[in-house]
Amino acid sequence: MRRGVSSLAIALMAFSIYAASASARTPQKRTPQAAAQTRVVPPTLPVTGASLLLSGTKTPLWSRNGNARLAIASTTKMMTALVVLQHVRNLNTVFTQTDWRAEPADSQIGLIPGEQMTVHALLVALLLPSADDAAEDLAFNVGDGSIPRFVAMMNADARRLGLDHTHYTTPIGLDTTGNYSSPDDLVRLADYMMRNWPFFQRTVRLPSAVLKSGRYERHIVNTDDLVAKYPWILGVKTGHTREAGYVLVAEGRRDGFTLLASVLGTSSEENRDSSALALLNWGFADFRVIRPVRAGQRIARRAVPYEATPVAILAARGYRTVVARGAHSRLLVGRLRKLRGPMAKGTVVGQLRVAIAGRRAVSIPLILARRLPAVSLLQRLGHFIKQPFTLLVLALLLGGAAAVLAQRRRRPKVVALRRVEER
């Protein structure tokens, strides 16, 4: 009895040790709470609104008052530039300055009524020193002599781009009723401009430029002083009015990816710059690029009836994103369609789900790597014959037939022997 108890105790102890070691070896499932622990804390910013966006995406990585409708000052001029670039294909076109004069306190390059300047030069003046007189000149001429018509074009483009929290009443960005945008909309617009308009992209990263207009030569400096100080800063636009405070939309590229930050309502140029830098530095430090799946990547191999070689299942497209450091990705293959020819190469046969930090991020179609031909009757018959069960049945039938034949061959000899015995 004691030996039995001792053996039982030893068995239970061994099982508990095995279970503990197996639990340690088995990866624990990430719960939403565990996934939330990978989220990073953004810096404290002295702003009324801010946003951080990964270039090429629509949803910000982080924002504060992201959809709030705020005064945006001269960041309005990003949309002014877009409308001009869409309507003036030849940037050597010359515009004549109207009799409009900027207030002495306004940002300007001192255009004189009747002075002629190319659209190229006016856009550089619009984007670098944020010249109000250049903005007025461009809007008046592109709007066929009507500023309201030009502003209507700006609002039409805002709707087209899905900037739902943006509205314009001026091409300049002065404090006027109804001229507003949001931190999220500003980074989306800046990202669109930087990715789709090379002239805009090249211009906003210039620290300075020289403008020539007849006998006039103007040396201008970019109001975004981060461009001159940090090689990884690529632009984009500053702004300042009493209502808006100091505003900046900035783009930076490091570590293989590009981020855009907007900061609104800061109290000084120093706070504006430091807030934008803090937001971008936080983004590059606490986020990382992952590419859990690439276009054409083989996800699985599946056997196909009547085919000697399995067919590869590929990801139809890749997926690249930025995640908080510490977050992991997982690929989950859904149920595949029944594979049987004829099926064309590239046929969608299932879905690949990509999960980031335990949450579903995107679904990617899975496609055939090659064509599956139609199956002939002869192939079906041959495949049927080669099946183990079929071969077993055939073997049994043949064996039975052979036994019957052998038995029949022996019967005449027995009869002959009997006849001999009878005689």
Residues belonging to the active site: 74, 77, 130
Instruction: Tell me which DSSP letter residue 76 carries.
Output: G
Secondary structure (3-state) at 286: helix
- DSSP element (H, E) containing 380: helix 377-386
Tokens 């490091």 identify what position?
Answer: 254
Nearest-angstrom CA–CA distance, 307 and 372: 9
Nearest-angstrom CA–CA distance, 79 and 190: 9
206, burial (CB in 10 Å: exposed 0-12, middle 13-18, buried 19+): middle
CB 73 within 8 A of CB 244: yes
Exposure b/e, 16-43, CB count within 10 A at least 16 = b: eeeeeeeeeeeeeebeeeebeebeeebe
Residue of 197, 148, 193, 165 whose CA lies nearest to 63 = 165
Number of C-beta neighbours around residue 356 at 10 A: 20
Tokens 């100080």 identify what position?
Answer: 229
Nearest-angstrom CA–CA distance, 47 and 402: 95
Number of C-beta neighbours around residue 277 at 10 A: 20
Exposure b/e, 168-190, CB count within 10 A at least 16 = b: bbbbbbbeeeebbbbbbbbbbbb
CA distances from 319 to 44, 178, 295, 297, 352 (A): 32, 39, 8, 11, 11
Question: What type of residue sits at position 129?
Answer: P
Instruction: Tell me which DSSP letter residue 2 carries.
Output: H
User: Residue 139 has which token pair?
Assistant: 């809007």
